[in-house]
Structure 1
Amino acid sequence: MIQIKEYNLGSIESELDVDIKAIDNLIKSDLKKISRIKTIETFFEDLKPIINIEDDSSFIKAPRNKIEQLKQIDTSISIADLRSFNTKFKLLAPYLKKKGKYKKCTLNDILEFIFGYHLENRTQTLKKVLRKIDIQNCVYCLAQYTTSYGLDKKKIYVKGNLDHIYPKSLNALVSLSINNLVPVCGHCNQRKLNASISKFNFNPFDSNIIPIFKFKDVLEIKKGQVNFKNLTDLKIENVNSTLESRLELTSLYKEYKSPIENLLERYKKFNSTSYEEHIEKLVKKGISADLEYFISETPYTEENLQNIPLHKFKSDFYKELEGCKKSGKITFS
């Protein structure tokens, strides 16, 4: 729902970099085991110019331009005879049987096994890397914290999910790439689940669409007094059509009655006569920019939009109240 920047992976701590390199090396070692199988020789010819399994290039730290190239490699090659692959990997057969892919599998199914996003040590490393990247709430709905981390016996637990922008089921080569992963909440992840590219083609790295929340019909203004009516008539303009149709974001935001009621009560309280003198002192000190935070607790800036759930939602509500106050629709005693 907002554009995010390509992750800067150059600042990852040396300890994590060692873990990343170890995973990359294991992947490359496994790829080398099958590199001479004739039925998939063209796959390795396509892979070599992008990421060479003989050098230090990384799948995990792949920049976005590399991910775009990896996505173009055909991994849908049908595997008619698994014997040559089974001799290389002891656990491949049980893995494919568990997924129901043993009798009819593709190269991508084997690559999913090799890249091993399902392996705990690898997902733990990804979580640790994303912990260093300052995006704390769902990049799709902006409504809930997702990267609130808890530690238990050195494991990291994430509230929410890490979502593959480009599905690993279509190309497992990017299944561990940090620049193909974004933090999302359970609501969005559940609704996006199993969506095809044609039904969910939203990429937060490319989108600069920012929603505009309209509260005109949510409020009841009579004789200068404002009260909360309901959120049934909330309008969201400039919402991404893909997100709206798949994730039902308007319906989601209509559930957030409590923060809007609380903000309205704070707004009325801090605009009352008893607080007028205190607010004037704040403004005279030249800190009027902090006034919005003082009342709404959500100063809207580009820098922190990604870090506070419901940030834009509440900020737009505050701005709408300010507009009503300046036009004289709302008065305070």
Structure 2
Amino acid sequence: MIRIDSTKLNNWNEIKKDQCEYLKLAVEKELSNLYIKNNSYIRSRKIRKSKKYHTYYKLNNSEREEIENIFGGVFTVKNQKSKFVVSDDKKIEKLVVGKLEEVISIFEKNIINKNVINRIFNYEKFCNNNGWNRHRLISKLGIKVCPYCNRQYITNYEDLKGNKEKTTADLDHFYSKSLYPYLALSLYNLIPSCQICNSRFKLDKDFRKYPHIYPYEEGFGDNAKFKTRGNTVEYLLGNTLDFDIYLDVFESKYKNKIENSIKTFHLNELYKVHTDYVQEIIKKIIIYNDSKLNEILLDFPELFSSKNEMLRTIFGNYIVNEELGKRPLSKLTKDICEELGLNLKNV
């Protein structure tokens, strides 16, 4: 529900460079040392304790030309062995940071052996790579909270025993790698997320067929807001937990995507448990009305650099749109504050 603005990620250019270099090496490694026989390029291995060979895949001339075009490289042959060298890095970059629909259009038209695609865009190898891998990618992204639910931290830590970076996040493939294997290493298809959203709720659901909010371009924003409802006004006085929390979806071009996202990630059901958190917000708003807030700013000019910092301290969370991805339940906090009349203009 929270948008990821890649233009504001500190390490985005480094991440692009590292991911492009990883894919380039994977392409060259997989497509080199192929055995050439009868105009076919053959990837095979010798079966243990046998002189027989197991064939992974064969490439005919048409497939070879298609590969050279897509990956921006050239096959050379020497002593019946091939070598593939990428000469156009822009082709690799397009596969890594191109728009998802553009990458899909490239591979939907081609005739390349599926085993080649699966071996080049091998996500498991990427995860287990000793150099650039899943953990380092997530760590460099620096996204602290799951953008799908805004309820779970997804931080990184250093494994002192192995002296390696580790993360508490999953990398969700927005378009499932089982359905779109050529997107398995595309940066704009990799969404850092909590394990619940990725491994319990989303699974292999086809988000292309059933559109959902896409974090690299969209968030719920003001098109869907958390609200409260109860049978009595007692909850508005902070005296009871007998009320509901729900997402109110407004008419917009994103409505269908938002509703699909709410359903897939069970957001209405999950947020029902946070009534105690909302009760605290209600009580704080009763205490800290606009005049009280202005009084605090005047009385403690050395304590708070801005109204935003003061509100974050009082409500224990971020309440500015650009900062909602920094802490769990931030959108809930902002929306409830607005619902209860807190003036967030000029914050």
8 Å contact 1:199–1:246 — kept in the other structure?
Answer: no
Aligned to 1:192: 202
Aligned to 1:232: 244
Tell me how far 1:23 sits from its aligned partner: 5.1
Tell me how far 1:177 sits from its aligned partner: 2.1
8 Å contact 1:220–1:227 — kept in the other structure?
Answer: no
Distance in 2 (CA, whole Å) between partners of 1:291 and 1:150 is: 30
In structure 2, the gaps of 5 or more residues are 35-39, 43-57, 74-85
Aligned to 1:247: 265
Distance in 2 (CA, whole Å) between partners of 1:25 and 1:224 is: 60
Distance in 2 (CA, whole Å) between partners of 1:176 and 1:60 is: 11
1:254-265, aligned counterparts within 5 Å? Answer: 254-265=272-283
- Residue 311 of structure 2: which of 274, 292, 296 is its match? 292
2:132 is aligned with 1:113: no
8 Å contact 2:59–2:113 — kept in the other structure?
Answer: no
Runs (4 or more) in structure 1 with deviation over 6 Å come to: 75-78
Tell me how far 1:312 sits from its aligned partner: 0.8
2:65 is aligned with 1:52: no
Assess, with a 3 A threshold, how the Cα gap between structure 1 residues 43 and 221 changes in structure 2: closer, same or farther.
farther
2:186 is aligned with 1:141: no
1:204-223, aligned counterparts within 5 Å? Answer: 204-210=215-221, 211-215=224-228, 217-218=229-230, 220-222=232-234
Aligned to 1:320: 339
Distance in 2 (CA, whole Å) between partners of 1:249 and 1:123 is: 36
SS at 1:132 equivalent = helix
Distance in 2 (CA, whole Å) between partners of 1:122 and 1:62 is: 22
Distance in 2 (CA, whole Å) between partners of 1:258 and 1:123 is: 44
- Residue 172 of structure 1: which of 170, 178, 181 is its match? 181
8 Å contact 2:241–2:279 — kept in the other structure?
Answer: no
Stretch moving more, 107-116 or 306-315: 107-116
Assess, with a 3 A threshold, how the Cα gap between structure 1 residues 18 and 296 changes in structure 2: closer, same or farther.
closer
If the length of structure 1 is used for normalisation, what is the TM-score?
0.70
Aligned to 1:151: 158
Distance in 2 (CA, whole Å) between partners of 1:259 and 1:72 is: 46
Superposed CA offset, 1:9-68 (max 9, x none): 66318xx95686255213322134568466565455445444313225274784543643
- Residue 65 of structure 1: which of 94, 98, 116 is its match? 98
Aligned to 1:92: none
1:295-314, aligned counterparts within 5 Å? Answer: 295-314=314-333
Stretch moving more, 159-168 or 193-202: 193-202
Distance in 2 (CA, whole Å) between partners of 1:27 and 1:302 is: 40
8 Å contact 1:137–1:145 — kept in the other structure?
Answer: yes
Distance in 2 (CA, whole Å) between partners of 1:228 and 1:108 is: 59
Superposed CA offset, 1:275-311 (max 9, x none): 95x8614246484444422321224223211221110
Tell me how far 1:234 sits from its aligned partner: 2.9
8 Å contact 2:95–2:186 — kept in the other structure?
Answer: yes
Stretch moving more, 34-43 or 309-318: 34-43
Tell me how far 1:255 sits from its aligned partner: 2.2
Distance in 1 (CA, whole Å) between partners of 2:149 and 2:233 is: 29
SS at 1:191 equivalent = helix
Aligned to 2:48: none
Stretch moving more, 217-226 or 244-253: 217-226
SS at 2:133 equivalent = helix
In structure 1, the gaps of 5 or more residues are 79-105, 325-333
Assess, with a 3 A threshold, how the Cα gap between structure 1 residues 291 and 139 changes in structure 2: closer, same or farther.
same
8 Å contact 1:214–1:317 — kept in the other structure?
Answer: yes
8 Å contact 2:241–2:276 — kept in the other structure?
Answer: no
Assess, with a 3 A threshold, how the Cα gap between structure 1 residues 228 and 291 changes in structure 2: closer, same or farther.
farther
SS at 1:256 equivalent = helix
SS at 1:176 equivalent = coil
**Greater fraction strand:** 2
If the length of structure 2 is used for normalisation, what is the TM-score?
0.68
Tell me how far 1:313 sits from its aligned partner: 0.4
Higher relative contact order (CA 8 A, sep 6+): 1
8 Å contact 2:235–2:279 — kept in the other structure?
Answer: no
Tell me how far 1:232 sits from its aligned partner: 3.2
Tell me how far 1:195 sits from its aligned partner: 1.0
Distance in 2 (CA, whole Å) between partners of 1:10 and 1:185 is: 21
Distance in 2 (CA, whole Å) between partners of 1:2 and 1:310 is: 11
